[in-house]
Amino acid sequence: MEKNKIRFSKLGFIFAASGSAVGLGNIWKFPYIAGENGGGIFVLVYLLTIFFIGMSIFIAEVLMGRNTHSDAVSTYEILATKGKKIWKFAGFSLFIGLLILSFYSIVIGWILNYIVIALTNLPVNVKEAEIVFMDMLKIDYASQLFYFTIAMIIIVYTVTRGIKKGIERFNKILMPMLIIILSLMLFYSVSLDGFSKSLEFLFFPNIEKFHTSSIIVAVGHAFFTLSVGMAVIMTYASSVSREVNIVKTSIAIVLMDTIIAIVAGIIIFSILFTSGAEPGKGPGLVFITLPAIFYEMGVAGNVLAILFFISLAFAGLTSAISILEPMVMYLEKRWRVTRVKGTILTSIVLYVMGIFALLSNTTKFGKSLTFGSKNIFDWFDFLSASVMMPLGGIAVAVFVGYFMDKELIRKEILPIMGGFFYTIWMFSLRFIVPIAITLVMLNEIGILKI
């Protein structure tokens, strides 16, 4: 079992937290929603919301974790000025990660599969690319299970190695490599005919596409992209030394997350517009449209395809590792279970959940694993993203805003932020964050349509 003195280095924490924040959503979700919701106007609103919503909660989680050096459940219990027995249940937001990882690791498996496809035989057109993807999703569950298993092995092995030798070392390798790969792809995209159009698509203010709902989309993505609300950042921060500047480090992580999302958007849409293709979204963009375009680009396309799917794999794996850590630390700190045993036990549960989620997408098993309007895979996605994460984020904001020792908060944050920004931060936690995230949650689950 790791001892409490084992901590992230400053750079290690930045890379680890950035690795958690930089996930698949940055590379295939942000570019599309930016273009579809007003381009430059949306990006501006997004940056404002990520400051008031995302960064506010991010700083709050770092503050909580670093002040206890413990698991999420104990953190709430230790820091609560009243209602300790009730607030400890907010720490069970760490279970959100298990739900997410059960299907997130399946998607990482798809990406690992597509690295092999990029190395061997890219589909020649969109129609063939759609057939390849749908066959994998609906019929070839054996291949899905194989790559899903590989993804889980990588995740489990890294977490069993601990903070310094596993998580920090893994992120110190993969995050710089991700940045290098994206930089090379950005450099190449500048030479493409679609580069200028991609800049226009992402950054030119389009009033006609910007609506009230666009603000809700910006708030939602600003919240979800930073991995807040599921005890990940809180858990990572529990292994940070007191010498680390909470605010400056949080800003660095948020900036890295945002820049990578924007760079990914420029790259993807430069490629799309050069080929004359229309922007798509989600799996259709990544696994159907882009592979066909890469094929049409010849040798350069093969190289780009390999780099693109490797970068996706890196982004997915660094996020997945962070999602598993809170539960492992909870078992380790609270129940005195060794890190290796805790990781393996948790992963067995995740693996079984993942198998059911994987099979629910298939033609053979899908019907029996569908409940209501959604199969298990979609239910896991919906419940975690639309209900549980928002509730976790609201809990952090309300807790720090109203139930944590105010003198402790002032002592930690006021000297760094200064009075003006400290007042804004506290106002955001107490009022803006709970209201905004509640609106996002109600909109996502269909109670309130904006």
Taking 80 as the threshold, does the pLDDT of residue 316 lie above it? yes
> What is the structure's pLDDT at 285?
79
pLDDT band at 6 (very low <50, low <70, confident <90, very high): low
Q: Quote the domain boundaries for residue 120.
A: 10-444
Mean of pLDDT over the chain: 91
- pLDDT per position as a tens digit, 30-78: 887 887 888 888 988 998 898 888 999 999 999 999 999 999 999 999 9
Whether the predicted pLDDT of 2 surpasses 90: no
Average pLDDT of span 228-240: 93
Instruction: Identify the pLDDT of residue 353.
Output: 98
Within a domain: residue 23?
yes
pLDDT band at 212 (very low <50, low <70, confident <90, very high): confident
**Residue 185 pLDDT level (bands cut at 50, 70, 90):** very high
CA 168 from centre of chain: 17
Q: What is the pLDDT of residue 35?
A: 79
The pLDDT tens digits for 186-211 are 999 999 999 999 998 888 888 888 88
Would you say residue 3 lies in a domain? no
Asked if residue 123 has pLDDT above 80, the reply is yes
Query: What is the pLDDT at residue 4?
Result: 45
Over the chain, what HEC string results? Answer: CCCCCCCECHHHHHHHHHHHHCCHHHHHCHHHHHHHCCCHHHHHHHHHHHHHHHHHHHHHHHHHHHHHCCCHHHHHHHHECCCHHHHHHHHHHHHHHHHHHHHHHHHHHHHHHHHHHHHHCCCCCHHHHHHHHHHHHHCCHHHHHHHHHHHHHHHHHHHHCCHHHHHHHHHHHHHHHHHHHHHHHHHHHCCCCCHHHHHHHHHCCCHHHCCHHHHHHHHHHHHHCCCCCCCHHHHHHCCECCCCCHHHHHHHHHHHHHHHHHHHHHHHHHHHHHHCCCCCCHHHHHHHHHHHHHHHCCHHHHHHHHHHHHHHHHHHHHHHHHHHHHHHHHHHHHCCCCHHHHHHHHHHHHHHHHHHHHHCCCCCCCHHHEECCEEHHHHHHHHHHHHHHHHHHHHHHHHHHHHECHHHHHHHHHHHHCHHHHHHHHHHHHHHHHHHHHHHHHHHCCCCCC
Q: What is the pLDDT of residue 103?
A: 95
Is the pLDDT at 1 greater than 60? The verdict is no
pLDDT of residue 281: 62
- How much of the chain, in percent, has pLDDT values that exceed 90? 72
- Segment 246-297, tens digit of pLDDT: 999 999 999 999 899 899 889 988 998 998 877 666 667 789 889 999 999 9
> CA-to-CA distance for 12 and 296, rounded, in angstroms?
40
In a domain, 449, yes or no: no
Angle of CA points 283, 309, 228, to nearest 5°? 70
For residue 3, the model assigns a pLDDT of 43
- Please tell me the predicted confidence (pLDDT) of residue 365: 97
Task: Summarize the confidence of residues 347-363 as an average pLDDT.
Answer: 97
Cα 137 to Cα 378: distance, rounded to the nearest angstrom: 13
Given a cut of 90, whether residue 172 has pLDDT beyond it is yes
Max mean pLDDT among 21-35, 108-122, 202-216 falls in 108-122
65-110: pLDDT as tens digits? 999 999 999 999 999 999 998 999 999 999 998 999 999 999 999 9
Which of 2-6, 173-177, 372-376, 444-448 is predicted least confidently?
2-6
Number of domains composing the chain: 1
Tell me what pLDDT residue 174 has. 93
Q: Output 418 or 219, whichever has higher pLDDT.
A: 418
Mean pLDDT, to the nearest integer, of 217-231? Answer: 87
Q: What is the pLDDT of residue 209?
A: 86
Q: Within a 10 A sphere around the Cβ of 121, how many other Cβ atoms?
A: 10
With 0-12 CB in 10 A as exposed, 13-18 as middle and 19+ as buried, what is 411? Answer: exposed
Instruction: Please give the structure tokens belonging to residue 36.
Output: 């579809």
Q: Could you tell me the CATH number of the domain that includes residue 178?
A: 1.10.4160
